[in-house]
Structure 1
Amino acid sequence: MADKSTNNIELKVLVDKGSNKVIFIEPENDFVDVLFSFMTIPMGTIIRLARKHSDPVVIGCMNNLYASVENIDEQKFWIPKCKAMLLRPRNAADSHCNLLKLKLDDAMRREYYVCTRGSKFLSFDWPIKCPCPCSSVIDEEKCLRLHPSQLGSVFVKGEIRFTVTDDLQVIPPIASTNSVFTKLGVMDVDATEELTVNIGTVEMFNLLMSSLVSKTPLTETLLKPKQEPKLSSKVINQAIHFESQMFGESTNDEEGKISVKLVVSKSEKMVCYAEAGEDFVSLLFSFLTLPLGFILKNMKDGSLRGCISHLYKTIQDLDGQYMISNHHNEMILDPKLVPGFCYKKSLLGIEETSYYLVNNMLTTDRSLISTEPSQLKVIGKKDDSALGFLKGPAMFVVTDNLVVRPISRILELHILKDLNVPVTDIEDQIVHVGKKEALHLLLSSFLCDSVLTNTFVADLREPKQEQ
């Protein structure tokens, strides 16, 4: 498959001359395909690629989680591959994203292997022994079959001309011209000018990062110097409301939940740090494997300072006729994990991609299968019995902004000193993390810098104001 990452995309841009802002662009569909692919990119990939830019990019506490994985000794993971899975997570839609004209992810093409004896096992690793009685080696490489109508396109059909606004609303061509112009404030044609702009991979990634923090990412990317994006810690306190399970509130049905001990400042009503086992830390680290679209799917309107949620909603509202198939729509709006990246206590409910072998061709698209499909079981070198990425039993210290380190009393004292919290002001609180709490932890880690406090005690303190 040819690498198209060195190509440029030409954009027709309508600009308001007075304010020097983008009103809208009329791109070819190769741009819209890349725009929609934002939803499939894992958070760990976004953090890793953002580090290559001259300006630091801060996405809540995700950067701290990524750095924590880097700094934890490889021996504490089940196998070295587990650490690599977190630092370079796979995109479940990578076979499609490899077809994009601008490929944001620099990951290598994934390979697929099946057993030549006709077993129902698939592996991304080679060589690996087949667990079926044949005891053969899984070594026959297969190509992933794509939808027949995908020729020349990736997610949207090839002959449609969309309008994309500055805040990333994608307007289909059937919309009324008058209503579109009125909505976008195009009242005086003489006050506008048309520009032709060529963008490459760098500009497209800048657009992604700007969409997280700006309501005008096209203007920021195409017309203005790039400024350092930083997600606001103020927003989450206003937009996400969960009931606290602390300070005397009882928790029912604790079975299957993860227990965590929080060390809380009584006077400040904030979490100083947590003492947690490998199951809780694996949950936090798994956030790096999640696609951006999964996070947006679970986020309330208004949570983000940027407009990336506008893009997600506009894809939701698009008529299915504009997408190549329902399968392509699902890849964007309900993205899944690559098999092996999920674990038994993930709590978040995200699914893994299913693979099927049909007429000696591999596919993830059930619509291409006329008979009842037989799902392949994906096997690999990661221990299937593992409950997470880390070996257990093990204990860690987790700060409020999700810096994770092996447990140490000296470290805990340093944290209290840095926070200016006396030992006489702290108390221990036990909380139990289920699906609701896991989801709140995820959204908080994406939006703010006091994740544990926002998740467990935010209702007991005033919202933290943006600096």
Structure 2
Amino acid sequence: MEKANNKLKLKLIIDKKSNKVLFGEARRDLVDLIFSLLALPLGAITKLLTKDAIVGSIGEVYDSLSNINGTYILSYGKQSSLLNPPLATISDYDTNYFIPPSTYQDTKNRLAYICYSSSKFCCPYVSLVSGTTCLGCGKRMDLQTGLKDPKFDTGMVAEASSEGKRYVAGEVTYSVMDDLTMVPMSTLSSVALFNKFEIKDLGSIQEITVTIGFEEGLKLVKASLESKTVLTDVFLKKNGASKSNA
């Protein structure tokens, strides 16, 4: 997996006979992206996918809070923290495909808020909403500050340390299964996978390369909540991402 034009490229091994993804080969940028699914709050998922794309009733809960009269709201900060919850930071602004590009436009004059103790910076977190509870110390984040260039500050709530921006270490290649199971890859593991799928006719195997941007990122979110064949659903079906022969 590599970057191309600010998108990720993922190599998929597919079985042409069944038109299914057997597994993919990914490096840590994509693995980080998939692991960050676990950090997405329900409010963020609902906002990203829209109510009609959500299975179940959580979309109705989101709409109810969005439409409730301000008279009944204790605090705008509390309401906004549910409707626009902070998104987890991942390694690269250009490939954080769970955050719409528009999130980072026109930020020059926008304000952010931090917590403080004795008028000094307290914890390595920042919020776009005044009065948000700090994830580090539990204090109110209401000390006003400015926003940096978004290319260097990659989240609605960003961690100051670089450690918080990655989940996996090194330049290891990972096998990504159709259900998003991920394990470090080796030659032996590749052979084991072909044996697992009982592939005897190598002529039925094809390698394709797919690109992942914001739209594909949203499809990954949606499919991961509904399916055990995520890669097949996102990349091989009619409305999947564009692909090219490897």
TM-score norm. by structure 1 comes to 0.39
Structure-to-structure mapping, 1:226-265, within 5 angstroms: 226=239
Question: Letter of the aligned partner of 2:236 in structure 1?
Answer: L
Q: Which residue of 2 aligns with 1:403?
A: none
The number of equivalent residue pairs is 207
Q: Pick from 160, 164, 181 the counterpart of residue 172 of structure 2.
A: 160
- RMSD of aligned Cα (Å): 3.4
| Aligned counterparts, 1:58-457, within 5 A | 58-91=54-87, 93-94=88-89, 96=90, 99=93, 101-106=95-100, 107=103, 112-115=114-117, 117-118=119-120, 124=127, 138-139=143-144, 144-147=159-162, 154-174=166-186, 176-226=189-239
Partners of 2:18 and 2:208 lie apart in 1 by 15
Counterpart amino acid of 1:194?
A: E
What is the match of residue 248 of structure 1? none
For residue 123 of structure 1, report the CA deviation from its aligned partner.
7.2
Structure 2: distance between partners of 1:125 and 1:73: 22
Give the letter for the 1:11 counterpart: L
Shift of 1:139: 4.9
Q: Secondary structure at the match of 1:38?
A: helix
Aligned 8 A contact 2:115 2:121 in 1: no
Q: Max radius of gyration: which structure?
A: 1
Q: Structure 2 vs 1, CA of residues 194 and 124 (structure 1 numbering), >3 Å: closer, same or farther?
A: closer
Cα separation, 1, equivalents of 2:82 and 2:129: 20
Counterpart CA distance in 2 for 1:206 and 1:155 is 21
Matched residue, 1:41: 40
Which residues of structure 1 form unaligned runs of 5+? 129-136, 228-467
Paired with 1:195 and 1:138, the residues of 2 have a C-alpha distance of 50
Partners of 1:61 and 1:112 in 2: CA distance? 34
Contact 1:126/1:139 (<8 A) preserved:
no
Runs (4 or more) in structure 1 with deviation over 6 Å come to 125-128, 140-143
Aligned-partner SS, 1:48: helix
User: 1:63 Cα deviation (Å)?
Assistant: 0.8
1:310-362 deviation line (CA, Å, top 9, x unaligned):
xxxxxxxxxxxxxxxxxxxxxxxxxxxxxxxxxxxxxxxxxxxxxxxxxxxxx
Structure 2 residues without counterparts, runs of 5 or longer: 132-141, 148-157, 241-246
- One-letter identity of the residue aligned with 1:86: L
Deviation for aligned residue 1:51 = 1.8
Q: Which moved more, 1:110-119 or 1:180-189?
A: 110-119
Contact conserved, 1:44 with 1:89, CA < 8 A, in 2? yes
CA contact (8 A) 1:113 1:141 kept: no
Q: Are the aligned partners of 1:116 and 1:140 in contact in 2 as well (CA < 8 Å)? A: no
**For residue 99 of structure 2, what is the amino acid of its counterpart?**
D
The percentage of aligned residue pairs carrying the same residue is: 29
Q: Distance in 1 between matches of 2:11 and 2:122?
A: 49
- Aligned runs of 1:6-45 on 2, under 5 Å? 7-45=6-44
Check conservation: 1:114, 1:141, Cα contact below 8 A: no
Q: Tell me, what secondary structure is at the counterpart of 1:176? A: helix
Instruction: Note the C-alpha offset of 1:99.
Output: 4.1
